């Protein structure tokens, strides 16, 4: 991609109404645009990150037998009155269409997936089963001021699993937990598994929390072992002993990036989703649900992985692998050579499988280019100038590091392949 | 993919309320599920087709310089009052959130993309520019009874182009027209470019129409040349002479699968989207918009490409390349061998780059398997049974054809590669 053609604009300042660090950084770097509080447009750079996060999620959900489907956002009122959640979910967006028909915009999809599964599940032979989707959810947040961490419209992956009995649900739940940890790791996030309220049916649900000062949740976590609980349910205070290992429990703010929940028969009962067991007897299906927010992960990474100059993207979700900057001077013949060598390098890197953003702009100063490169946060920066070409070299700098080094042009692919 | 694990259910009959042929076929084959009138869930098979259509669209939009972005579905009222369309679009879904804030669910995105472009376009150097997105649109259709052809929620690709002058818009418009024809061709659709109303600003817009009895539009088209007009604007009747070549104009029903429109300065004027030209003078940006419905394409293909047994998918958008059926008998040792050979064939075909759905179910009759295979409409069907294995062969049948033939197991990849 040529940066001269890229649809973006960086800015030094952003409007004062945007308080969250993640949205500030993402807007300044031209990754997202704010349409209104809690609602953002993904520009090309931001969308590339979002799609990479979704790709990781898809791979890990497919790996645990999840089958991708796509349910609508527009859902009929009837499904929500069946479970009583038309009234109990206070952030549900409701609307009325022509003919007086009432709808909700899905904030979650148990009300849709359960009656759908009922059409397909008849026998124990149809179980277990897991389906998931990635689409936009809607929540009528009264205060949407955390950027991409709490949106009115936001990207969501929700997986639903169906089981013949609790033991099978338990087993799958643990598999999903592991899959979630893999996803966060690949996204460059260190997530803590935190016990949280299990509602009326389960003792606990589990949240995946990322410690950071900007988090809206408060968790207690053991300084020694991996045990953690959400403050909302914790029966102790900071400084108490860990009930698992005796270590000290610390208190911290955290962002919830995922949540898994044993629904058991809560929804299968509401929609009479049952199956015939081996003895021909009817049983309610056991269900689990597993949510993860791609756009929230993106916001979380911006929140926890940046310095004063901009975001530092983890390799697997970076918008590009390499940011190639050409520094042009006043001599048009020299500039021609710089552009030729840069284009050649871009092409050979792309052939080798790297995604390259090439800053080919002639009329932009080196200072602006370096500044934007730091804002973008692409893992590897390469600079070609008259000086580097005099040494048949390109300057290489890792965004997360401090030192730049000269690498011979014919060695660069090998260097990056390391 | 193993069919025994696939999340689907075929049915012989579907509810009488579903009148459209496309939805009937897609529901019967387990590609989609109807949530309510005009709103469908994509099941794994249907989603695979939808994603392939989107992939084709992305490739062709990228090829004409389109940059992908993602705008929200939830949009603020203010943007729509600026253009007056809050009141004039009668199918706009409107809703009120907490604090009385009013929103529309996007049925189109000129009101969002124009102010966005205003933040990025300053100078003639920023032009031309083209951005597109693929996301769900919403329309409060009073009568949604055409299946996937006219939904209340439906998938849409909308591209918007920005130009310094009309000549540049005209040129890009023709490029987009060619790209659209490529998309339809790759999706196995023969689309006619039809002149349609250009609104207040242009003489004509252009629709891409597919002739079929179930179409909701009526067009006149020349039997000789490619000229066509929508009946709404046509100044002649069926049987008249073609104004281009003198051939006879025929009348036909058609489905609109795409629409392109020269907006000129209609929206740039409303949002004051201007740029500085080479002389430092302010000018309004010229705009074009280009819409295409992936879910509508899917419905259209079902509508025009089927026989009495089910859908016949064009190769490039088929959910799988190969449907491999294993026909089991009563002898468990023989069955073991059939499954082993089938699994081996599935694996080697997959390694060779084919997407294979393997019907591995032991307790299902050959009749049911053949019936479902026809319903699914996967281009190539392979059958392995005791009989075919006795000849070291597999039975090959093309879904669109009538004849089955035996092919040696070790020749099948070569045969399919043709």
Three-state SS letters, B367-393: HHHHHHHHHHCCCEEEEECHHHHHCCE
| Phi-psi group of A318: left, alpha or beta (phi > 0 → left; psi -120 to 50 → alpha; rest → beta) | beta
Burial of A197-227, coded b for 16+ CB within 10 Å and e otherwise, reads eeeeebebbbbbbbbbebbebebbbbeeeeb
Between residues A15 and A117, the one the model is more confident about: A117
Q: Please give the Cα distance from B255 to B300 (Å, whole number).
A: 7
Q: How many CB pairs under 8 A join A and B?
A: 128
Residue B235 confidence class, pLDDT cut points 50, 70, 90: confident
DSSP string, A337-362: HHHHHHHHHHHHHHHTT--EEEE--S
Q: Tell me which of B13, B39, B82, B361 to substitute to probe the interface with A (most A C-beta atoms closer than 10 Å).
A: B39
- Mean pLDDT of all residues in A218-246: 93
Give backbone dihedrals phi and psi of A83, rounded to 5 degrees, phi first.
-100, -5
How do B67-68 and B129-138 pair as beta strands?
A: parallel
Contacts of B140 in chain A (CB under 8 A): 97-98
- How confident is the model at residue B148, as a pLDDT? 95
- Interface touch A73/B136, C-beta < 8 Å: yes
- Interface touch A67/B7, C-beta < 8 Å: yes
Q: Tell me which of B105, B115, B118 to substitute to probe the interface with A (most A C-beta atoms closer than 10 Å).
A: B105
Q: What is the Cα gyration radius of chain A?
A: 25
Closest CA to B51 of A134, A105, A61: A134
> pLDDT tens for residues B141-186?
998 889 999 999 999 999 999 999 999 999 999 999 999 999 999 9
- Mean pLDDT of all residues in A210-223: 94
User: Is residue A97 classed as helix, strand or coil in its secondary structure?
Assistant: coil
Q: Greatest CA separation found in chain B?
A: 86
- Interface touch B99/A71, C-beta < 8 Å: no
- Interface touch A35/B72, C-beta < 8 Å: yes
* C-alpha dihedral (A384, A385, A391, A392), degrees to nearest 10: 40
- Which residue intervals of A14-149 are DSSP H helices? 21-28, 44-63, 77-83, 85-88, 110-120
What is the CATH T-level fold of the domain B320-417, as seen in this structure? Rossmann fold (3.40.50)
- How confident is the model at residue B198, as a pLDDT? 87
Query: Complex ipTM above 0.90?
Result: yes
| Phi-psi group of A239: left, alpha or beta (phi > 0 → left; psi -120 to 50 → alpha; rest → beta) | left
Instruction: Give the architecture (CATH level 2) of B3-307.
Output: 2-Layer Sandwich (3.30)
Tell whether B114 lies on the interface with A, counting CB pairs under 8 A.
Answer: no
Return the ∠ at Cα A218 (arms to A228 and A141), rounded to 5°: 125
Tell whether A36 lies on the interface with B, counting CB pairs under 8 A.
Answer: yes
Is A418's pLDDT higher than 70? no
- Note the pTM of the prediction, 2 decimals: 0.97
Contact A266, A201 (CB under 8 A): yes
Residue B418 confidence class, pLDDT cut points 50, 70, 90: low
A residues 124..153 contacting B (CB < 8 A): 129, 131, 135-136, 138, 140-142, 152-153
- Interface touch A35/B98, C-beta < 8 Å: no
Q: Which helix (H) or strand (E) holds A390?
A: helix A386-390
Contacts of B126 in chain A (CB under 8 A): none
Distances (CA, A) of A203 to A243, A414, B256: 16, 53, 54
Query: Which residues lie below 8 Å from residue B337, measured CB to CB, with a gap of 6+?
Result: B389
- How confident is the model at residue A12, as a pLDDT? 81
Q: Please give the Cα distance from B271 to B249 (Å, whole number).
A: 42
> pLDDT tens for residues B6-35?
999 998 877 677 889 999 999 999 999 999
- How confident is the model at residue A237, as a pLDDT? 87
- How confident is the model at residue A200, as a pLDDT? 75
Residue B199 confidence class, pLDDT cut points 50, 70, 90: confident
Query: Which residues lie below 8 Å from residue A126, measured CB to CB, with a gap of 6+?
Result: A120, A275
Contacts of A40 in chain B (CB under 8 A): 72
CATH homologous superfamily, domain A21-307:
Bira Bifunctional Protein; Domain 2 (3.30.930.10)
Say if B3-307 and B320-417 have the same CATH topology.
Answer: no
> pLDDT tens for residues A83-112?
999 999 999 999 999 999 999 999 999 999
Is A14's pLDDT higher than 80? no
- Mean pLDDT of all residues in B195-221: 92
Is A15's pLDDT higher than 80? no
Tell whether A368 lies on the interface with B, counting CB pairs under 8 A.
Answer: no
> pLDDT tens for residues B387-398?
999 999 999 999
Burial class, B62, CB count within 10 angstroms (exposed 0-12 / middle 13-18 / buried 19+): middle
Domain boundaries, chain B: 3-307, 320-417
Kindly state the tokens that stand for B5: 């694990």
Kindly state the tokens that stand for A84: 């009583």
Q: Please give the Cα distance from B9 to B164 (Å, whole number).
A: 53
Is B201's pLDDT higher than 90? no
- Which residue intervals of A142-240 are DSSP H helices? 166-186
Nearest CA in chain A to B109: A41
Residue A399 confidence class, pLDDT cut points 50, 70, 90: very high
Q: Please give the Cα distance from A65 to A179 (Å, whole number).
A: 11
What count of other Cβ atoms lies within 10 Å of the Cβ of residue A123?
12
Is A350's pLDDT higher than 80? yes
- Interface touch B33/A95, C-beta < 8 Å: no
Residue A165 confidence class, pLDDT cut points 50, 70, 90: very high
- Which residue intervals of B72-189 are DSSP H helices? 77-83, 85-88, 110-120, 166-186
- How confident is the model at residue B190, as a pLDDT? 95
Nearest CA in chain B to A113: B41
- How confident is the model at residue A201, as a pLDDT? 76
Between B41, B72, B97, which is nearest A93 by CB? B97
> pLDDT tens for residues B239-282?
999 999 999 999 999 999 999 999 999 999 999 999 999 999 99
Is B236's pLDDT higher than 90? no
Closest CA to A396 of A371, A372, A415: A415
Nearest CA in chain A to B139: A97
How do A204-211 and A249-264 pair as beta strands?
A: antiparallel
Contacts of A119 in chain B (CB under 8 A): 9, 33
- Interface touch A47/B65, C-beta < 8 Å: no
B residues 44..63 contacting A (CB < 8 A): 44, 47, 50
Contacts of B52 in chain A (CB under 8 A): none
- How confident is the model at residue A291, as a pLDDT? 98
């Amino acid at each position: 991609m040529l940066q001269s053609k890229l649809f973006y604009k960086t800015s030094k300042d952003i409007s004062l109404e945007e308080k969250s660090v993640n949205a500030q950084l993402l807007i300044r770097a031209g990754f997202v645009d704010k349409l209104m509080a809690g609602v953002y447009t993904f520009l090309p750079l931001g969308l590339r990150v979002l799609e990479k996060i979704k790709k990781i999620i898809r791979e890990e959900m497919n790996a645990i037998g999840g089958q991708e489907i796509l349910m609508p956002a527009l859902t009929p009122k009837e499904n929500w009155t069946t479970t009583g959640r038309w009234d109990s979910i206070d952030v549900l967006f409701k609307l009325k269409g022509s003919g007086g028909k009432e709808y909700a915009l899905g904030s979650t999809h148990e009300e849709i997936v359960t009656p759908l599964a009922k059409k397909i599940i008849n026998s124990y032979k149809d179980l277990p089963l897991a389906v998931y989707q990635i689409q936009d959810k809607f929540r009528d947040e009264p205060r949407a001021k955390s950027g991409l961490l709490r949106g009115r419209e936001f990207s969501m992956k929700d997986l639903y699993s169906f089981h013949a009995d609790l033991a099978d649900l338990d087993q799958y739940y643990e598999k999903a937990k592991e899959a979630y940890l893999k996803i966060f790791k690949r996204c460059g996030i260190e997530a803590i598994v935190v016990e949280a309220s299990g509602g009326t049916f389960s003792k606990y649900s589990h949240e995946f929390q990322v410690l950071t000062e900007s988090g809206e949740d408060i968790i207690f976590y053991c300084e020694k072992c991996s045990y953690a609980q959400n403050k909302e349910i914790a029966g102790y205070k900071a400084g108490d002993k860990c009930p698992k290992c005796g270590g000290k429990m610390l208190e911290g703010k955290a962002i919830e990036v995922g949540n898994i929940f044993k629904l058991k028969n809560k929804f299968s009962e509401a929609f009479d989703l049952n199956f015939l067991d081996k003895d021909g007897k009817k049983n309610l299906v056991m269900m689990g649900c597993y949510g993860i927010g791609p756009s929230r992960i993106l916001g979380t990474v911006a929140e926890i992985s940046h310095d004063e100059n901009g975001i530092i993207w983890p390799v697997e979700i970076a918008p590009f692998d390499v940011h190639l900057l050409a520094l042009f001077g006043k001599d048009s013949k020299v500039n021609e050579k710089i552009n030729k060598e840069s284009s050649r390098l871009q092409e050979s890197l792309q052939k080798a499988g790297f995604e390259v953003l090439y800053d080919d702009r002639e009329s932009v100063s080196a200072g602006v280019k370096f500044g934007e490169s730091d804002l973008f946060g692409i893992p590897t920066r390469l600079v070609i100038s008259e000086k580097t070409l005099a040494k048949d070299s390109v300057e290489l700098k890792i965004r997360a590091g401090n030192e730049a080094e000269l690498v011979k042009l014919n060695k660069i692919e090998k260097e990056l392949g390391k």
